[in-house]
């Protein structure tokens, strides 16, 4: 169906006239990558086909944050803050054409259609990963109640020891120091001496790993013979990787120039992976 629509669109453009000249264009963006620029308030999504020196672009002036949450956002094109452009140029262009803050003087636009009606949809899928060695399938489970679900919480039990440091050598059989059947990475009192691991932090640096009482060589939080308590009502800083992928579609757009209008039922901008790829650092609020 998509191919058919594209073909119909190709033929209609082929017949379009501008000052008597036949416009020859492929309107072939299937092999072009979806690219994007801008941020909140000023998003641009575009595809460039330099084989025909043409581009299709979607401008979205919205205060919505489009890339940080898994969500589908749909907008009605209005021709001023949200619109589609199809353009042909007199030379090749690069993404700088859309991404530079100052519009470039070249190449020149030779043909332009403006899409002022229809709907644009941005489908965003966000992936978060704490790389802590635990495969978590329950996406809502939040053992320590700090607002960060286990699947991207790098300290699942909130005891200020990173999960990766509590698993032991075999993540499929995680370490359980006190043998209470709760693995250390989910146990807030790892040595069962009734002092929370988080509070076995003598120097209060949010790292109970470095608090050792001689002659023992193991940290106090794993040593049931040491029960010194330092109340710590604070979480350490957490980090996780965040990436997001998008799919961009425009439906029922009407492309207009001074000579004619073209109805396009589906304008598929395609998809882009890693529109965001970053590491997030966050300190959960202790409650």
Half-sphere exposure of 150 (CA within 13 A, CB side): 18
- Interaction of residue 112 with Ca ion, rule CB under 5 A: no
Among 28, 64, 178, 265, binds Ca ion (CB under 5 A): 178
- Interaction of residue 132 with Ca ion, rule CB under 5 A: no
Q: What Å distances lie between residue 33 and 50, 98, 114, 149, 155, CA to CA? A: 12, 14, 21, 34, 38
Minimum CB separation of residue 202 from Ca ion in Å reads 13
Q: Tell me which residue has tokens 């636009």.
A: 109
Taking CB under 5 A as the binding criterion, the range among 18-26, 113-121, 172-180, 256-264 that sits at the site for Ca ion is: 172-180
- Interaction of residue 211 with Ca ion, rule CB under 5 A: no
Taking CB under 5 A as the binding criterion, the range among 42-50, 121-129, 184-192, 248-256 that sits at the site for Ca ion is: 184-192
- Interaction of residue 180 with Ca ion, rule CB under 5 A: yes
Among 132, 144, 154, 268, binds Ca ion (CB under 5 A): 144
Among 64, 112, 136, 176, binds Ca ion (CB under 5 A): 176
User: Residue 271, SS3?
Assistant: strand
Q: Give dist(CA 217, CA 202) in Å, integer.
A: 15
- CB 90, CB 110: distance < 8 Å: yes
Minimum CB separation of residue 213 from Ca ion in Å reads 13
- CB 262, CB 12: distance < 8 Å: yes
Taking CB under 5 A as the binding criterion, the range among 25-33, 78-86, 190-198, 208-216 that sits at the site for Ca ion is: 190-198
- CB 264, CB 215: distance < 8 Å: no
Our CA dihedral for 170, 174, 176, 181, rounded to 10 degrees, sits at -140
Q: Give dist(CA 178, CA 209) in Å, integer.
A: 17
Among 161, 232, 248, 253, binds Ca ion (CB under 5 A): 161
- Interaction of residue 209 with Ca ion, rule CB under 5 A: no
Taking CB under 5 A as the binding criterion, the range among 104-112, 145-153, 233-241, 252-260 that sits at the site for Ca ion is: 145-153
Q: Give dist(CA 55, CA 285) in Å, integer.
A: 47
Minimum CB separation of residue 159 from Ca ion in Å reads 4
Strand partners, 263: 254
- CB 41, CB 63: distance < 8 Å: yes
Half-sphere exposure of 180 (CA within 13 A, CB side): 13
Minimum CB separation of residue 279 from Ca ion in Å reads 18
Minimum CB separation of residue 65 from Ca ion in Å reads 23
- Interaction of residue 153 with Ca ion, rule CB under 5 A: yes
Nearest residue (CB) to Ca ion, 191 versus 245: 191
Taking CB under 5 A as the binding criterion, the range among 28-36, 102-110, 116-124, 193-201 that sits at the site for Ca ion is: 193-201
- CB 270, CB 47: distance < 8 Å: yes
Query: Residues interacting with Ca ion, by CB under 5 A?
Result: 142, 144, 146, 148, 153, 155, 157, 159, 161, 176, 178, 180, 182, 187, 189, 191, 193, 195
């Amino acid at each position: 169906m998509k191919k058919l629509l594209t073909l119909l669109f190709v033929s209609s453009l082929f017949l379009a006239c501008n000052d008597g000249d036949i416009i020859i264009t492929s309107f072939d963006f299937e092999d072009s990558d979806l690219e994007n620029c801008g941020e909140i308030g000023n998003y641009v999504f575009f595809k460039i086909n330099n084989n025909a020196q043409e581009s299709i672009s979607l401008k979205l002036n919205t205060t919505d944050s489009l890339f940080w949450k898994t969500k589908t956002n749909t907008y009605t094109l209005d021709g001023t803050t949200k619109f589609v452009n199809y353009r042909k140029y007199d030379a090749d262009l690069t993404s700088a054409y859309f991404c530079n803050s100052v519009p470039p003087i070249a190449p020149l636009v030779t043909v332009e259609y403006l899409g002022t009606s229809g709907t644009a949809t941005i489908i965003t899928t966000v992936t978060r990963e704490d790389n802590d060695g635990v495969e978590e399938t329950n996406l809502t489970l939040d053992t320590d109640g700090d607002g960060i679900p286990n699947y991207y919480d790098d300290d699942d039990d909130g005891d200020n020891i990173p999960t990766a440091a509590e698993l032991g050598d075999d993540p499929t059989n995680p370490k359980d120091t006190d043998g209470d059947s709760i693995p250390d990475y989910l146990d807030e009192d790892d040595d069962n001496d009734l002092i929370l691991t988080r509070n076995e932090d003598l120097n209060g640096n949010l790292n109970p790993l470095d608090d050792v009482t001689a002659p023992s060589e193991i940290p106090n939080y794993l040593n049931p013979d040491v029960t010194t308590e330092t109340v710590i009502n604070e979480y350490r800083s957490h980090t996780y990787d965040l990436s997001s992928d998008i799919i961009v579609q425009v439906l029922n757009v009407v492309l207009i120039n001074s000579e004619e209008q073209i109805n396009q039922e589906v304008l598929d901008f395609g998809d882009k992976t890693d529109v965001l790829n970053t590491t997030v650092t966050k300190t959960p609020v202790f409650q």
